[in-house]
Homo-oligomer: A and B are copies of this chain.
């Protein structure tokens, strides 16, 4: 449908084709879902031949890795913002809510982020590499709010439990079977908060998404 934008500097034939391909992939992902994300379709969307992507990514998997990488960056940014909008233990809730809302608003991207990881049996590095990464933020926030870093096992256990709970909810929240529960609780937000609260990992919930 849409053409790749050709406004910026064009150092080579196509400008920054790598960039254009990742953008095209994300556009397709949002518009058509993960099943429509073929390498050929991405090339088509970027206005380029099916073989062109192979000079920027060794694999289809490597392209998806790049897309997933951006996903983790966006998630990290949104969680960081959510955290700074709250204080004390509420920060943990804010992180949880931000995580689940990200998954709700970008379901296809969220799937790509974990699919790549599942095949490798390795959590994506983007998730835990730097202080702005999603997992580390949860961990650090727990420490800031009284968890004992020296009692390392317990802290990590708490982080893992919180992560599992949030991920589970993120994957379940999309199913229609929970629509009536959402209505009953006054909308999707309250539903998400209620489940997170019930898990006891995220103390309370107040802030915006």
Contact = CB atoms under 8 A, between A and B. Distances in A.
* Copies of this chain present: 2
A181 B199 contact: no
A194 B121 contact: no
Contact of A198 (B122, B157, B176, B198): B157
Main secondary structure of the interface of A (DSSP, over half): helix
Interface in A169-186: 169, 171-172, 174-178, 181, 184-185
A88 to B, nearest CB: 21
Contacts of A160: 172, 178, 181, 195
Given A165-B165, A199-B164, A157 B181 contact: yes
Q: What size tier do the contact residues of chain A reach?
A: 35 or more
Contact of A177 (B114, B123, B171): B123
Given A199-B199, A200-B200, A201-B199, A172 B177 contact: no
A163 B168 contact: yes
Given A123-B175, A164-B165, A167-B172, 17 more contacts: A35-B119, A114-B171, A121-B176, A122-B177, A123-B176, A156-B181, A157-B194, A160-B178, A160-B181, A163-B168, A164-B199, A165-B168, A167-B168, A168-B168, A198-B201, A199-B200, A200-B200
